[in-house]
């Protein structure tokens, strides 16, 4: 396994944890917004393991958060670029590095945001919608080469980056609003990605898999009422 992150210290800790579990892992520090990072990751995989079988893209986030009324061009363009270009660049690099040699699989981490109309997340929702379109189109393009491309769409998930939204009560209130009554955890996303990478999903490509405790089932207003 080759892993990447911007913080060398956190990356080294994660590498140590994985090695303690018996996983052969190499870490490559650097931002995915650096155009050199995708090729460095591919080179590390080829050098240490001789091949590339699977690819998971987790990069994303809002460069701009706020209403469309105060959003400038850079806020929108930079957010779309962050959530699309590093993913596309790494897929391109992996293809040149041999991803298609024996068939392969790609999982992109998207979001349920494109289904929402949260005013402060308009740029992020647009960016993830673009990623979803890329995922489906690339899946169609690479299918004949034996490569599957899918995406996982989380809702609010318990991670270090979202602590402010769930830490006070360990996510009980947010989880209670979901159909399954429990807030999504990082392991739930990882399990879905592992499934989509595996041979158990060998007939699945171009799919956007919601892993959100049923958040996507939330209904809207209707004039009709159950009797």
User: Helix 73-96 to helix 122-142 angle, to the nearest 10 degrees?
Assistant: 20
Distances (CA, A) of 148 to 107, 157, 207: 8, 25, 10
Catalytic residues: 124
- Is residue 167 classed exposed, middle or buried when 0-12, 13-18 and 19+ CB atoms within 10 A define those classes? exposed
**CB proximity list for 10: less than 8 A, separation 6 or greater:** none
Q: Distance of CA 1 to CAs 96, 98, 158, 193, Å?
A: 18, 15, 24, 14
Residues near 76 by beta carbon (within 8 Å), at least 6 away in sequence: 64, 123, 126
């Amino acid at each position: 396994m080759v892993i990447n992150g911007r913080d060398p210290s956190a990356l080294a800790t994660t590498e140590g944890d994985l090695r303690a579990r018996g996983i052969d892992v190499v870490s490559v520090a650097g931002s995915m917004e650096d155009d050199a990072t995708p090729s460095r990751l591919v080179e590390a995989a080829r050098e240490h393991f001789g091949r590339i079988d699977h690819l998971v893209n987790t990069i994303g986030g809002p460069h701009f958060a706020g209403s469309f009324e105060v959003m400038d061009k850079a806020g929108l363009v930079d957010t779309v670029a962050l959530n699309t270009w590093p993913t596309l660049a790494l897929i391109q690099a992996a293809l040149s590095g041999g991803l298609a040699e024996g068939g392969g699989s790609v999982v992109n981490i998207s979001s349920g945001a494109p289904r929402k109309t949260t005013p402060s997340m308009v740029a992020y929702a647009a960016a993830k919608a673009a990623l979803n379109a890329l995922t489906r189109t690339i899946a169609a393009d690479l299918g004949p080469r034996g490569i599957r491309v899918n995406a996982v769409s989380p809702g609010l998930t318990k991670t270090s980056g979202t602590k402010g939204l769930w830490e006070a009560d360990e996510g009980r209130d947010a989880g209670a609003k979901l159909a399954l009554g429990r807030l999504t955890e990082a392991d739930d996303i990882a399990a879905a990605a592992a499934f989509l990478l595996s041979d158990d999903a060998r007939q699945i490509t171009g799919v956007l898999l919601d892993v959100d405790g049923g958040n996507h089932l939330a209904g809207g207003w209707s004039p009709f009422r159950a009797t």
